[in-house]
Structure 1
Amino acid sequence: MSKQKYTIDDVPFKKFHLRIAGFTFGASFCDGYALGIIAMALTVLGPQLELNAMWTGLIGSSALIGVFVGALVLGRLSDRIGRQKVFLISFLLIAIVTILQFFVSSPVELFILRLLIGFGLGGDYAVGTTLLAEFSPKKYRASLLASLNVLWTLGYVASNFVGYYLGQIGSDSWRWMLVSATIPAIVVLILRIGTPESPRWLVSMGRVEEARQIVKKHLGPNVEMGETITSTDNQTAAGFRGLFSKKLRKRTAFGGIFKLTIVIPYFAIYTFLPTILRTMGFEQNFFADTMLNLFLLVGAIVGLWLLAKFSRRGFTIGSFAVLTVSLFALSIMHTGSQFLMLVAFLVFTFFMSAASNLTLVYPAELFPTEIRGSGIGMVTAISRIGSAIGTFLLPVSLNSLGLNASMIAMAVILLIGLIVSIAWAPETKSLSLNEASNPLLDTGNSSEETDIPLQEIRK
């Protein structure tokens, strides 16, 4: 009896899938840790380096600015030279530069190093998500991609606890906080050596036999590609021009605005969480900080269930609605009961973390293989430059306008995300990666697995 034949989209979950997921999960943990530890370090290095509000905002947002550039440059590069090379190079850069943070002596040096760390993280946001999506079976794709947010949140929460305890060792504790991110970065770098190239990318470049060999070696001889080669033009990716073609520009706009309006309040608020808690009157804020970090982690985990339970559109729209209302409630209760403020903040935190799962699932499903790296890179870049601006402006806003006005501004941003999602969010749940990334199927007709010819994308 012959073995049952599978495609990449419907193959049963294998140890290899767990391995690829582990490499990407580890990177996601590092991303959350590296971006979270700066919030704790700023509370110590700010007075030591005599940072004003501008420098505090610049250093707090520097990694996010780097993510903007790295996502664009390395995301596009991954469409040209392959996922695997960028997958390795990005963490080599992160590991080296993270060590150098220990030796900085001025705000300028730290700002530049944080930019470079962000550059590497930007490449990993684009390429790690892409590689995991392109290897994942349809049945497990959303859960695996969303789990990246759980690990990101775990890294962020871990950085808060590590930072809290390292903060007790003296005035130079911030150096140890920042360099502590080197340990997980080096572990991830070593484990990534030997990662295979994405078979979907190889097919899109016309290198079909190489793709088949990788699939046979890692997924089994009874697994076929199941990819449609539509044109010899696939040997050259369409790049950024394809993202703004007639057929894809709405998806590019939705992906960018959707992610932008989630990450602006996320990064702005949680980068300066200790400062915000003090402004709210929580002078001894360890309890409040611990509760919020716990709700971040629980929200990310429960978000996996919500992602499986609800449609992509429904989860997105519902999350934006709850986030807008809860943050607006927090802003108007600023001078009221601390208990009610904390409850509103916990509700906001829970749903913000749950909704953040979508930011790692949706972008991978919006774009065809030929420009998936560029597409995820573009969406990430749009979101991160916005979050960098928001993170830079928040301490200035808190200084000049106060907490109430600052939180209302964040609530308005979330309201924009709600409106855009109602108008443009496509439904991609339960579709193969080819179907999900095909805007011609946005009407709901997914009976055929169809890919968009590259010449059509360019129109």
Structure 2
Amino acid sequence: MNTHHTQSFLMDDAPLNKFHLRITALTFGSNFSDGYALGIIGMALTLLGTQMNLGPMWNGLLGSSALIGLFIGSLVLGWLSDRIGRQKIFLANFLIIGVASLLQFWVNDPLTLFILRILIGIGLGGDYAVGSTLLAEFSPKKYRGFLLASLCVIWTVGYVISNVVGFYLEKMGPESWRWMLASAAIPAFIVLVLRIGTPESPRWLISMGRKEEAMQIVKKYVSPHAVIEDVTPLDKLPGFRDLFSKRLWRRTTFGSLFYVCNVIPYFAIYTFLPIILSSMGYEESFLIDLLLNGFLLLGGIAGLWLMEKFSRRGFTIYTFAILAITLLPLGIIDNTHKVFLIICFAIFTFVMSAASNLTLVYPAELFPTEIRASGVGLVTAVSRVGSAIGTFLLPVVLNGYGVGVSMIAMTIVLVVGAIVSILWAPETKSLDLDEASNLLYDEGQPL
């Protein structure tokens, strides 16, 4: 008996096994598909825009349709998974994405395409909320940051592959946009099939009072010697209002602002990178663009290692500070110092890519199990609103006020991120996720 007792350990302290790697690989699906879906629509629009006589309004709506869906899906499906479980939503997401992607092949008007793109976004948004939540709830704390952050690198892979696929499909003629958009169904259906049989989150089962089911899953998939900390089920399921309770409002506010301040410069600057480089005096910007994309990929990979070296709080504060310092020169120094400006931009790109890994790690660690998917869904939704606004405003500011004012505005966003992090960023790197459930209680009583 004593031997068995000494061998027992908490699920958070379990060794990494094949199942952890499998659940990570299955969670990659949403990040790959998001990068692919957002990359392929840009290429398809150049062809279907001419064919359907699309004006600027429809181009804008179709370009942002997946972001609108992401907002809805992350909020609604994140909230729903806290009620009916992670596993059902984990499967349903890719059924929605796969079917809607395939149906794009037969569209003949922009409204139908707009609706299908929103549906794809809803599935992707649901998977952002539920996928990272499920992965966080299965991962040992020692490897949780690395596994979650690796998802961010896969987004870039999906985006790059969509460009390669689009480049080759374009040669098939004016109708090739149909094949481009429908091609997103292939990875979606592969992910859907592979996800069949994924177990429910034992932490969610425990929070629902289903301890026996939870323990069976832990023993089967994590380790025969792993145990999960028991928590008292809440009298009523928490809702979005509980995210702003006196115990959680700082985490919710920090998570939302940190995510927004991280993604606004990322989406805005890299969506309009050729225009920005042209404004800096680089008329032939292909090689510079290629160089910066290289730094983007290297930064994402280096960020996996850096996150293990630094605390979550420290890494967040330092990266916001470095990003602000390296972006400011682009706003205040004239174009005669091109070499210095490109060095600053390269450092900014590298650090931005490394820091963006945090957006898939921090939110999942901020919230208790009972409300984790709702919390991740909310901060993801807020971030997508921020990125959509930033992406919309940047070309307007560039056109009206120039690159200098645009970069100063982005620097201010990064400074706000640094201040918010200094004030409110909690340290979650060594957190047992079961401990987070205490945030829903005040002296043993639900808030």
Distance 1:95-1:275 versus aligned 2 partners, 3 A rule: farther
* 1:180 match: 183
CA contact (8 A) 1:245 1:458 kept: no
How does 1:44-123 map onto structure 2 within 5 Å? 44-46=47-49, 49-123=52-126
Distance (whole Å) between structure 1 residues aligned to residue 172 and residue 398 of structure 2? 29
Distance (whole Å) between structure 1 residues aligned to residue 163 and residue 155 of structure 2? 13
SS at match of 1:357: helix
1:311-356 deviation line (CA, Å, top 9, x unaligned) = 1111101111122222222234574455444433322221111111
* 2:355 match: 355
1:105-145 deviation line (CA, Å, top 9, x unaligned) = 44433332222211111100000000000000111111111
Distance 1:337-1:47 versus aligned 2 partners, 3 A rule: farther
How far did 1:204 drift?
Answer: 0.2
How does 1:202-217 map onto structure 2 within 5 Å? 202-217=205-220
How does 1:123-272 map onto structure 2 within 5 Å? 123-225=126-228, 227-233=229-235, 236-272=236-272
Distance (whole Å) between structure 1 residues aligned to residue 24 and residue 307 of structure 2? 18
1:137-166 deviation line (CA, Å, top 9, x unaligned) = 111111111111111222223223333444
SS at match of 2:197: coil
CA contact (8 A) 2:14 2:223 kept: no
| More displaced 10-residue stretch of structure 1: 177-186 or 123-132 | 177-186
Distance 1:403-1:167 versus aligned 2 partners, 3 A rule: farther
Distance (whole Å) between structure 1 residues aligned to residue 136 and residue 52 of structure 2? 43
1:23 paired with 2:11, answer no
Distance (whole Å) between structure 1 residues aligned to residue 89 and residue 221 of structure 2? 20
1:166-208 deviation line (CA, Å, top 9, x unaligned) = 4455444444333332222121111111110000000000111
Which stretches in structure 2 are left out of the alignment for 5+ residues? none
Distance (whole Å) between structure 2 residues aligned to residue 336 and residue 104 of structure 1? 49
Distance 1:247-1:118 versus aligned 2 partners, 3 A rule: same
Distance (whole Å) between structure 1 residues aligned to residue 444 and residue 175 of structure 2? 57
Distance (whole Å) between structure 2 residues aligned to residue 285 and residue 269 of structure 1? 15
Distance (whole Å) between structure 2 residues aligned to residue 413 and residue 337 of structure 1? 24
CA contact (8 A) 1:313 1:427 kept: yes
1:235-261 deviation line (CA, Å, top 9, x unaligned) = x42011110101100110000000011
Amino acid at match of 1:389: I
Distance (whole Å) between structure 2 residues aligned to residue 333 and residue 49 of structure 1? 43
SS at match of 2:361: helix
TM-score normalised per structure 1: 0.89
* 1:441 match: none
1:247-282 deviation line (CA, Å, top 9, x unaligned) = 100110000000011112222233344444455454
Which stretches in structure 1 are left out of the alignment for 5+ residues? 439-449
Amino acid at match of 1:297: L
TM-score normalised per structure 2: 0.91
Distance 1:179-1:406 versus aligned 2 partners, 3 A rule: farther
Amino acid at match of 1:143: F
CA contact (8 A) 2:141 2:429 kept: no
CA contact (8 A) 2:247 2:439 kept: no
Distance (whole Å) between structure 2 residues aligned to residue 228 and residue 329 of structure 1? 53
